[in-house]
């Protein structure tokens, strides 16, 4: 069983910097602006061949009455409840403040082991001597996550803690079981991505609000449905590049595209009231990354004439994304739990299509029918020859087509073959690619 550690602290004490340092890569967003982290972010790391799960939490403001701060506190509380131990991070330059004391007292109510970390303790101004903390009898460690100082003491403390708790770990690293399906939930800000994930998993796992841009980190949420494990990547809303001005938003956008690259499929969430070109740009980027895609039209409960709306939207999507003819579109309301049960079957279908392999014999039988019905065009008085079609990889499906003249092969005929492959073998929601290969002359190089 992996040891779960919750990193908790007041705003801007360096929790995310510590999280990234322990994980060994930049996962949580770090910035001088307070309250950058809003959802809880979980990642695994290893120390001395032991597995740990680290939870970065939102900054806790116990006195705030703002709805978003109350929701953030609830997210942090959920992380604390699920953790085996807590790291309380304090700004070593400021010292133990009234807010730290309130947070410390709040954490003690959960009866979990607490380790107090004085971060930013790399300067002479660091204030790590606190009578309140000394009398608490809690372990105290001074460190600097930014400058990688004091981490050895923290590592030793974790090893000692494991021995005290007598946790059973295997001496060899246990391979992580890969999620069967990894899905990124993407879209413009405020389309209801986090609300959709909460509705699918059946709990308020992510912060939701009418405030655009609430999600900043890419957060992984596990979803078990009908015996299959699915990892859902909640991502920051994507705006047009010209509208992105803040450094945090630029980093969030990069994290979103990184999540897309790690995923198998993408659910593109569209607000039913305001589909625009940015939605299509996101879909295009998804296809370029070779990922399967399902379009989720959210807030359908706000549309009165649903049938005419669905008909017009489908036509617009197919005109704009001609390479995805027959793409799956699911009309839902995440807030009202309308049609959510239709998502999982579509996910399974698209995922199976994404890793599907077609036997070469079936492909070439299809090719024979195409050539008979619609032969290739003439070039310089000679008809182009097509010899062979084979699938050379999956995830996404890529095919190799042997032809006589690559440079003279027309794109429209290539699309015609691609459309036939898509329709006959039901590659809905999947970008497929055909690579042209020059067919070899079996008599080339022979003496006459």
Distance CA 309, CA 313 (A): 6
The predicted structure's pLDDT at residue 339: 97
The predicted structure's pLDDT at residue 36: 45
Domains and CATH numbers, the chain: 3-171 (3.40.50.300), 181-355 (3.40.50.300), 360-438 (3.30.300.20)
pTM above 0.85, yes or no: no
Closest Cα to residue 31, out of 252, 306, 304? 252
The predicted structure's pLDDT at residue 448: 43
The residue whose two tokens read 């690619």 is 433
Which residues, at least 6 apart from 224, have a Cβ–Cβ distance to it below 8 Å? 230
Closest Cα to residue 166, out of 224, 84, 234, 253? 84
Distance CA 194, CA 300 (A): 16
The predicted structure's pLDDT at residue 31: 45
Question: Could you tell me the two tokens for 80?
Answer: 């604390």
The predicted structure's pLDDT at residue 256: 84
Give average pLDDT by consecutive 10-residue segment, the chain, 448 residues: 87 90 73 52 85 88 83 86 92 90 90 91 62 68 92 90 61 48 93 92 69 58 86 78 51 78 95 85 90 96 92 83 79 96 95 94 96 91 92 96 92 94 91 90 50
How many CB atoms neighbour CB 447 within 10 A? 3
Distance CA 53, CA 43 (A): 6
The predicted structure's pLDDT at residue 137: 63
Which residues, at least 6 apart from 143, have a Cβ–Cβ distance to it below 8 Å? 18, 117, 118, 119, 121, 149, 150, 151, 153, 154
């Amino acid at each position: 069983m992996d040891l779960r550690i919750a990193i908790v602290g007041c705003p801007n004490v360096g929790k995310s910097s510590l999280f990234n340092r322990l994980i060994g890569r930049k996962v949580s967003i770090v910035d001088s602006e307070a309250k950058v982290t809003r959802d809880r972010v979980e990642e695994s790391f290893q120390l001395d061949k032991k597995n740990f799960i680290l939870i970065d939490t939102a900054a806790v403001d116990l006195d705030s009455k703002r709805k978003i701060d109350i929701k953030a506190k609830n997210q942090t509380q959920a992380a604390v409840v699920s953790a085996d131990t807590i790291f309380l991070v304090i700004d070593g330059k400021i010292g133990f403040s009234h807010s730290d004391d309130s947070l410390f007292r709040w954490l003690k109510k959960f009866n979990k082991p607490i380790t107090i970390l004085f971060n930013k303790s790399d300067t002479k101004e660091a204030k790590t001597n606190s009578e309140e903390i000394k009398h608490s009898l809690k372990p105290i460690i001074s460190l600097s996550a930014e400058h990688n100082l004091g981490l050895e003491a923290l590592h030793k403390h974790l090893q000692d803690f494991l021995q005290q708790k007598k946790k059973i770990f295997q001496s060899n690293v246990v391979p992580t079981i890969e999620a069967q399906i990894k899905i990124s939930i993407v879209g413009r800000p405020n389309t209801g991505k986090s609300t959709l994930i909460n509705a699918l998993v059946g709990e308020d796992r992510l912060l939701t609000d009418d405030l655009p841009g609430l999600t900043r980190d890419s957060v992984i949420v596990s979803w078990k449905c009908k015996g299959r494990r699915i990892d859902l990547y909640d991502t920051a809303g994507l705006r047009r590049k010209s509208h992105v001005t803040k450094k945090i938003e630029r980093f969030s956008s990069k994290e979103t595209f990184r999540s897309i690259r790690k995923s198998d499929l993408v659910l593109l969430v569209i607000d039913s009231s305001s589909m625009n070109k940015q939605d299509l740009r996101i879909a295009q980027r998804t296809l370029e990354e070779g990922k399967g895609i399902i379009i989720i039209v959210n807030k359908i409960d706000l549309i009165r004439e649903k049938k005419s709306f669905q008909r017009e939207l489908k036509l617009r999507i197919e005109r704009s994304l001609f390479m995805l003819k027959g793409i799956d579109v699911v009309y839902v309301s995440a807030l009202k739990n309308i049609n959510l049960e239709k998502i999982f079957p579509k996910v399974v279908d698209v995922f199976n299509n994404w890793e599907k392999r077609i036997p070469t014999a079936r492909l070439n039988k299809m090719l024979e029918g195409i050539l008979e019905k619609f032969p290739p065009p003439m070039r310089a008085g000679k008809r182009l020859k097509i010899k062979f079609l084979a699938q050379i990889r999956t995830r996404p499906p890529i095919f190799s087509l042997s032809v006589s003249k690559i440079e003279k092969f027309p794109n429209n005929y290539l699309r015609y073959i691609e459309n036939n492959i898509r329709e006959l073998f039901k590659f809905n929601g999947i970008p497929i690619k055909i690579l042209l290969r020059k067919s070899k002359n079996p008599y080339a190089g022979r003496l006459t």
